[in-house]
Amino acid sequence: MGLLGTMAAVLAPPHRAGRPFIAAGVALAVFGLFAWHPLIWAGIVAALVCWFFFRDPERVPSPLRGAVLAAADGRIILVDQATPPPELGLGAEPRWRIATFLSVLNVHVNRVPAHGTVTAIAYRAGKFFNAADARAGEANERNAVALRLADGRDMAVVQISGLIARRILCDLRDGDTVTAGARFGIIRFGSRTDIFLPHGVTPVVSVGQTAVGGETVMALLQAS
């Protein structure tokens, strides 16, 4: 990504979930005009920080047929075999999982990993360990989504809260038809996303790589 691309990403319009926070910063700055001038700068800084956190740049999904795309920006911290969240009803047999950690500097808009139909959405309350902690996948608050692919196979994407994240937003509904790379939600202020691949599909990424939501290819469905 060149300089212009980087600037466009940083200056991208904010996700709708961030607009109340940005408006609050602007309101604080306006209030400072009449009450106490240092509040002007505090409000401006708060509004800019919230704009940066909630930025929502456009992404160009890979043209590869059957590509499973990253569900979020961030660093891949786990590539292992694990059981999908039991609340989705996808069975107890382990399958490949790819976990991506989002720091407060990453774009936090979540993206659909593959074309399919939503067959289940399950929210579960939990703790708020650091999202990079090994316990986070099982213990933290999460919202899990099951997808049925065109060939009948199932996969899942899980939004997991982090140490300071306290709000998971998911725009999907049971029965929705979704497209790879499309926006589907956001997690406020630091988090993690896990992708559980269909049986027989293996990852093409490794721990330590940086993922770009909606663009980075995590696996190929034809590899089954």
CA distance 85 to 14: 31
User: What does the angle CA 215 – CA 204 – CA 209 come to, to the nearest 5 degrees?
Assistant: 65
Say if residues 180 and 153 touch (Cβ distance below 8 Å).
no
Q: Which of 62, 161, 191, 206 is catalytic?
A: 191
Helix (H), strand (E), coil (C) string for the chain: CCHHHHHHHHCCCECHHHHHHHHHHHHHHHHHHHCCCHHHHHHHHHHHHHHHHCECCCCCCCCCCCEEECCCCEEEEEEEEECCCHHHCCCCCCEEEEEEEECCCCCCEEECCCCEEEEEEEEECCECCCCCCCCHHHHECEEEEEEECCCCCEEEEEEEECCCCCCEEECCCCCCEECCCCEEEEECCCEEEEEECCCCCCECCCCCCEECCCCCEEEEHHHC
For the question of residue 206 being annotated catalytic, the response is: no
CA distance 192 to 142: 9
| Residues with catalytic roles | 191
